[in-house]
Structure 1
Amino acid sequence: MSRLTIALVALAGILAGGLAVSLYKQPQALDTAQVRSVVEDVLKERADAAPVPVETAAIDQDKLNPMIESYLLGNPRILQRVSEALDTQLRAEQRDKAKSLIAQMSDAIYNDPDHVVLGNPNGDVTLVEMFDYNCGYCRNALPDLATLLAEDPNLKVILKEFPILSKESVDAARVAVLVGKDKDVDYWTFHQALFTSRGKVTAETALDEAQKLGMSKVDLALKMGSEEVSTAIENTYRLAKALNITGTPTYIIGNELIPGAIGLDELRGRISNVRACGETVCTSG
């Protein structure tokens, strides 16, 4: 009960007592208008009066902090629950942000004429991978992609050259862009050859593998520095900047950005979820 409520109750009691005494000593009765007038006058005086100050106890940090520390040390699972709740909240926020960014950049992600499409071009789920030929994690993840392509006839895969680790990576990507543009050449064979080659992947590595597939090594060397090739790679850089992508491999599935090689089972799970509910994480209910 607030102080004002208590005061009003007390006031009502005083008024009731005063009126009773008055009526006892004086036989004449007060009419309704007179009673209302007296009550309104008293309430107005209370409203105009200065507010009653509320005293608050000062917090002694020297006493409070050890109490908090002692409580948390005695109940450490509280910190675990807080950490888990924070992690859940941050993941949800990241998913919401990624979903918004992917929607904004949808055309650049899925309709770039310079990227390479593998698998079923009309597949019901699209897996995008941004990679660097000198990325060890990308190399280790190659079998995952090969397995998905082999076992899932309804999967569409988009590969985007994202050379960020070295100049050699950029040079190899330039050759790869030209290989990807030649519809008479099996890009997937070329792609696997570069990731399974020994040592650092360079322009020479890429040119040699392209030549094995029937392309002219000299012609490729002359064209790899062209504006057309530079634009293709720069478009991927711009996309990566817009999506806040800084490493390889990075996958895009449905409404999720996935940094790092997460493994075959995780990729399968997300693809299955997209088919089931339209998102990589399905919620029941």
Structure 2
Amino acid sequence: MNRLPIVLAAVAGILAGALGFSLLNQPKPETDAVAVRAIVEQVLAEQPAPEAPQVAALDPTVLNPMIEDYLMSDPKLLQRLSVALEDTLRVEEQERTQVAMAEFRDAIFNAPDQIVIGNPDGDVTLVEFFDYNCGYCRAAVPDLAALIAEDPNLKVILKEFPILSNESIDAARVGVLVSRTDADYWAFHQALFSSRGKVDKAIALQAAAEQGLSQVDLELRMGEENVARTIQGSYEIAQALGITGTPTYIIGNEVIPGAIGADELRSRIANMRACGSTQCS
């Protein structure tokens, strides 16, 4: 600590006091206490500023062992940090999802071109994003069939979300067209998921033909803009909600990734009826 300013300030006070005393005995002083203090303050101003303390560069050979010793003294520290980070990220993701759900609610649940099976006026809605070439989606079809069969008040919305291949996109285009006819879309849907090998345009057109539709007409209309717009709508919802795989379900305000099974879906549907949320406290 540089003590020079403090010392000079004290000197100024002493000089001013002494000079004040001497002025009492001098009829015509050449200066006074204020002038003395001004002179001292000028001296103070002319003193060089104290140098900032020098900080030595951190030597990794010294710092790294210190960090290691600290972490080793509490081996569970990183685990706690990881859990805290996961919790923070999960909360942030939930907040982003809720904002996106509010923004895209009509597109998710009330799109005019959406595929609806089950009870159109059901009291609970289950939305599924699927790809015809998704093995997990194929395995989950019986779960959905069971829920529809046992629950007459369940509304199911199917979102064509072809993300695995160009063949998936072609099949989805046919699927959109089938859903706009009087044909049994649910039968068409199950037929594609029960077919062998990769689901492509030919398989989709054949399944549509089995429902009494013209393959030629469907193939000619596959490239229509309104068909592409329907699929694009699924992409936009998925991007907003962070959906990257299939199947992905939406019930209420919850986005549920993966084929979680009929029992888990059934539980969430029951909770929606009980408390208006997929998780009841």
Q: Common fold, TM-score beyond 0.5?
A: yes
Structure 1 residues 20-99: aligned runs within 5 Å:
66=65, 69-70=68-69, 72-99=71-98
CA distance in 2 between partners of 1:195 and 1:253 (Å): 23
The Cα offsets for residues 109-165 of structure 1, whole Å up to 9 and x where unpaired, read as: 111122111112222221111111111221122222122222222221100111122
Secondary structure at 2:219's aligned position in 1?
helix
Secondary structure at 2:259's aligned position in 1?
coil
How many correspondences in the alignment?
237
Secondary structure at 1:268's aligned position in 2?
helix
CA distance in 2 between partners of 1:191 and 1:265 (Å): 22
The answer to whether structure 1 residue 107 and structure 2 residue 109 are counterparts is no
Give the TM-score taking structure 1 as reference length.
0.71
Quote the residue 1:263 is aligned against: 261
Quote the residue 1:118 is aligned against: 117
Residue type of the alignment partner of 1:270: R
Quote the residue 1:245 is aligned against: 243
CA distance in 1 between partners of 2:204 and 2:78 (Å): 52
Answer with 102-111 or 264-273: which moved more. Answer: 264-273
State whether residues 115 and 161 of structure 1, in contact with CA within 8 Å, keep that contact through their aligned partners in structure 2: no
Secondary structure at 2:213's aligned position in 1?
coil
Identical aligned pairs, as a percentage? 64
CA distance in 1 between partners of 2:59 and 2:203 (Å): 70
CA distance in 1 between partners of 2:79 and 2:275 (Å): 31
State whether residues 115 and 159 of structure 1, in contact with CA within 8 Å, keep that contact through their aligned partners in structure 2: yes
Using the TM superposition, give the Cα deviation of residue 260 of structure 1 relative to its aligned residue in structure 2, in angstroms: 2.5
- Gap change, CA 1:153 and 1:190, over 3 Å in 2: same
Match of 2:276 among 250, 275, 278: 278
Q: Which has the larger radius of gyration?
A: 2
Is there any run of 5+ residues in structure 2 with no aligned partner, and where? 1-52
CA distance in 1 between partners of 2:75 and 2:147 (Å): 43
Quote the residue 1:178 is aligned against: 177
Give the TM-score taking structure 2 as reference length.
0.72
Using the TM superposition, give the Cα deviation of residue 62 of structure 1 relative to its aligned residue in structure 2, in angstroms: 6.4
Using the TM superposition, give the Cα deviation of residue 68 of structure 1 relative to its aligned residue in structure 2, in angstroms: 5.2
CA distance in 1 between partners of 2:117 and 2:64 (Å): 60
Quote the residue 1:128 is aligned against: 127
Secondary structure at 1:133's aligned position in 2?
coil
CA distance in 1 between partners of 2:111 and 2:133 (Å): 23
Quote the residue 1:189 is aligned against: 187
Residue type of the alignment partner of 2:129: M
RMSD: 3.3
CA distance in 1 between partners of 2:111 and 2:64 (Å): 57
Quote the residue 1:144 is aligned against: 143
Residue type of the alignment partner of 1:225: G
CA distance in 1 between partners of 2:202 and 2:261 (Å): 30
Quote the residue 2:158 is aligned against: 159
- Gap change, CA 1:61 and 1:221, over 3 Å in 2: closer
CA distance in 2 between partners of 1:279 and 1:203 (Å): 39
Match of 2:200 among 196, 199, 202: 202
- Gap change, CA 1:134 and 1:62, over 3 Å in 2: same
CA distance in 1 between partners of 2:66 and 2:122 (Å): 60
CA distance in 2 between partners of 1:93 and 1:142 (Å): 32
CA distance in 2 between partners of 1:209 and 1:179 (Å): 10
- Gap change, CA 1:71 and 1:165, over 3 Å in 2: same
Structure 1 residues 206-245: aligned runs within 5 Å:
206-245=204-243
Is there any run of 5+ residues in structure 1 with no aligned partner, and where? 1-54
